[in-house]
Structure 1
């Protein structure tokens, strides 16, 4: 195999490896999934509760004797919602991180917490004892409009970001987003402490975490900053393969490997020899008119620039300007206006007239810069 073949093969292997790695990481980056270890997953919440002694179930079916439940995104079927409501009525605590859920408190739709979040602290008059010692939460999403009997904590512009609503023997805790619970955010501020304070009412509590379905991830109000976290991993893998393929083509076509290839070069003639060769060709052709046109064109180009005329100024205008600059009128007429010569003697006289006019103009007219 040639050296180029080895290089292309190595690049293809690297590209396939990158694409495979990127595709594999997609399985761990399902947004809000309690079984996902990616930055937008929520398995860290499950692990924290489990380490503190809770009996954690990841299931969309909620038992009647459950102590607490976490609803990350509300796409529940009617039977699932009724079972969850029954557990709350029986005394369970429900944490709803989807502000648009039917189970959450009334949302303030005219105000939203700025993207990226703001640091919130419990209000001094918050009567929830479980929140004592919570220093701050980096929150985003939406505030709520508490009704009578509901308790609001963590105030932001427009209303509280967290609302506790009594329901039968239990309570529903509504928060403005789920972003603070994802794996990449749980260790910041007091996010983990707040989750434990809500979901772990006592030792050996039974907690159910409801995984969101596909429909929930298409809705709004989850607090996910931007759409990039929702792009499937196979799209990134495809883009990676396209980039690798482009690099392979560039590396293949950019340079040829191996010894330099000699190529025929044009004949290199000195400038003086080129002038002599052109003159000899003109002499052999015997065309006085052709030589006259070249002499007039070269001299006219020089004098138009020196006299400040336009590059396409007509010959008669050029002759008049040369006379004004000191040239002989008859010579200027013969140099630029008279018919082209047909004999060598006439060509010689034209060359003298052109030289005299040029010398007269350059001797009197100032050079233009």
Structure 2
């Protein structure tokens, strides 16, 4: 895997704080072959699906066909790790979970029997989306790191692929991570972040890290310009709108019909005529002055 300087978030070739180059190197140090690609279709060329872990960053950028292929690989024994999937991705894969909204950040303990999580212990998670189990298959799910009433990490066993012999290795699994920040270069050394990330990614001898390109025409969740704005922009616009309303109400108190008021002083009529005349002269309003005269 060659290093890259493109600086994309969650890119294993990026040394930026939000990249994952440090994690890729740690996984390689554990004897795992790490490859990186921008094309999810390249996962179809895996020679041994039962011995590969596929990480899909920004899964909403992948096509439905690519997600279907990943589901097939999971049924053949692959681990498919989805980093921050949204509701469209979960629905396209037919997983028995629902995606919640933003949950508060925290450092929860695993509270599950997943070996990778129990080894890592507490990890700083939350701050983004989380998951809740739904449907009749909810009992088969492993829900880890609860934040409020949802879990930030969920393991969903994949159904066995049709025609796969029973004596072969068991089916793979989907690993849903609601906030992948603990995998980045900036936060990999916090609490049990490194232990959890390495434990999830070194179960097989091959790791394929897929980062689809932004703006793919066949993406399962196509986003418009407003969707690309940071989360704080709508809040800032709302605050500016409220400020404009308050300003309009404050200024509106000065509007209304004229109200006659007694003058606090007596002004001679000659001074008033002279003042008006000077105003007409300054404005060169000859026609108006002649009409008044």
**TM-score band, normalised by the shorter chain?**
0.5 to 0.7
RMSD: 3.1
1:180 — aligned with what?
182
Residue 55 of structure 1: which of 7, 13, 33 is its match? 33
User: Shift of the alpha carbon at 1:163?
Assistant: 1.0
User: Shift of the alpha carbon at 1:35?
Assistant: 1.7
CA contact (8 A) 2:117 2:144 kept: no
User: Shift of the alpha carbon at 1:88?
Assistant: 0.9
Alignment length, in residue pairs?
A: 198
For residues 191-210 of structure 1, the aligned pairs below 5 Å read 191-201=193-203, 205-210=205-210
2:155 — aligned with what?
164
1:112 — aligned with what?
102
User: Shift of the alpha carbon at 1:129?
Assistant: 2.2
CA contact (8 A) 1:163 1:173 kept: yes
The separation in 2 between residues aligned to 1:225 and 1:119, in whole angstroms, is 28
- What is the TM-score of this pair, normalised by structure 2? 0.59
Gaps of 5+ in 2: 161-170, 233-263, 269-293
Q: Please tell me whether Structure 1 or Structure 2 has the larger radius of gyration of its CA atoms.
A: 1
The separation in 2 between residues aligned to 1:218 and 1:186, in whole angstroms, is 30
Secondary structure of the equivalent of 1:137? coil
Secondary structure of the equivalent of 1:95? strand
The separation in 2 between residues aligned to 1:178 and 1:219, in whole angstroms, is 21
Cα 1:166–1:225 shift into 2, 3 Å: farther
Secondary structure of the equivalent of 1:48? helix
CA contact (8 A) 2:5 2:13 kept: no
Cα 1:152–1:40 shift into 2, 3 Å: same
1:144 — aligned with what?
131
Secondary structure of the equivalent of 1:142? coil
After superposition, give the CA deviation of every residue in 1:124-169 in whole Å (9 maximum; x if it has no partner).
Answer: xx22223222121111222211223111111111222111111031
For residues 340-355 of structure 1, the aligned pairs below 5 Å read none
1:154 — aligned with what?
145
Gaps of 5+ in 1: 1-25, 229-309, 315-369
Structure holding more helix per residue: 1
For residues 246-261 of structure 1, the aligned pairs below 5 Å read none
The separation in 2 between residues aligned to 1:184 and 1:226, in whole angstroms, is 20
After superposition, give the CA deviation of every residue in 1:216-265 in whole Å (9 maximum; x if it has no partner).
Answer: 89869xxx99579xxxxxxxxxxxxxxxxxxxxxxxxxxxxxxxxxxxxx
1:131 — aligned with what?
117
CA contact (8 A) 1:90 1:170 kept: yes
The separation in 2 between residues aligned to 1:200 and 1:184, in whole angstroms, is 21
After superposition, give the CA deviation of every residue in 1:280-339 in whole Å (9 maximum; x if it has no partner).
Answer: xxxxxxxxxxxxxxxxxxxxxxxxxxxxxx99999xxxxxxxxxxxxxxxxxxxxxxxxx
User: Shift of the alpha carbon at 1:199?
Assistant: 1.1
Question: Highest relative contact order (Cα 8 Å, sep 6+), 1 or 2?
Answer: 2
1:122 — aligned with what?
110
CA contact (8 A) 1:105 1:144 kept: no
CA contact (8 A) 1:65 1:87 kept: no
The separation in 1 between residues aligned to 2:223 and 2:12, in whole angstroms, is 18
- What is the TM-score of this pair, normalised by structure 1? 0.48
2:73 — aligned with what?
87
Secondary structure of the equivalent of 2:25? helix
The separation in 2 between residues aligned to 1:38 and 1:211, in whole angstroms, is 16
Secondary structure of the equivalent of 2:8? coil
